Amino acid sequence: MNLMHRRLCSSAGWAEKVARLLADDLAGLDLGDDVLEIGPGYGATTAVLVDRVPRLTAVEVDEASASRLRAAYAGRATIVHGDGTALPFEDGRFSAVVCFTMLHHVPSPALQDVLFAEACRVVRPGGLFHGVDSQPSVRFRLLHVGDTMVVVDPATLPARLAAVGFDDDPEVRVAEGRLRFTARKR
């Protein structure tokens, strides 16, 4: 992430906005007893999840961010330094897998598909894969100058999720510049 992006994502204002949006986004979703968060970054979403689910594990690709999160959530969540495209967990372990505003940082659609496959592998049969990501806008593009920005196409997402083992009819919505999806493992 570029410096401007890092400043935004590590700010108190961003954390407050994320807490409001995530509370609405998760309303009515039962994530179960053992949840995996992929790509927590600075932890704004982790701060919401840790008080919402009985057991939380987060995997973060950036080692410095993983270390900060480990210190912040010691005893409350398990933080693993790792890659969402090669998850270090056994098959079917989690009741749900979630990811928030991070998919566009995965450098290609092919690697996003690998991440989707890994999410499917580690979630239990019938478990949920839920995520939110941004859609293109001028502000979003400016924030990503010099950054990886591979936006997920909502039109192709259902088929991509079904191809790796999620149900054929996931919920996919776009509103207010955000893509929201929920899929259940077959």
| 137 domain residue, yes or no | yes
Please provide the DSSP assignment of the chain as one string: --HHHHHHHTSHHHHHHHHHHHHHHHTT----SSEEEE--TTSHHHHHHTTTSSSEEEEESSHHHHHHHHHHTTTT-EEEE--TTS--S-TT-EEEEEEES-GGGSS-HHHHHHHHHHHHHHEEEEEEEEEEEE---HHHHHHTTTS------TTTHHHHHHHTTB-SS-EEEEETTEEEEEEEB-
pTM of the entire structure? Answer: 0.94
* CA nearest neighbour of 94 among 113, 114, 78, 112: 78
| 177 domain residue, yes or no | yes
| 124 domain residue, yes or no | yes
| 28 domain residue, yes or no | no
| 26 domain residue, yes or no | no
Q: Are 99 and 84 in contact (CB under 8 A)?
A: yes
pLDDT per residue as tens digits for the range 35-59: 999 999 999 999 999 999 999 999 9
Instruction: Give the domain range for residue 63.
Output: 3-20+33-184
**Tens place of pLDDT for every residue, the chain, 186 residues?**
767 667 777 788 878 988 898 988 999 999 999 999 999 999 999 999 999 999 999 999 999 999 999 999 999 999 999 999 999 999 999 999 999 999 999 999 999 999 999 999 999 999 999 999 999 878 777 776 788 899 999 999 999 999 999 999 999 999 999 999 999 999
133: alpha, beta or left? (left if phi > 0; alpha if psi -120 to 50): beta
| 69 domain residue, yes or no | yes
pLDDT per residue as tens digits for the range 102-119: 999 999 999 999 999 999
Structurally, the chain folds into a number of domains equal to 1
Q: The CATH number of the domain where 152 resides is what?
A: 3.40.50.150
| 27 domain residue, yes or no | no
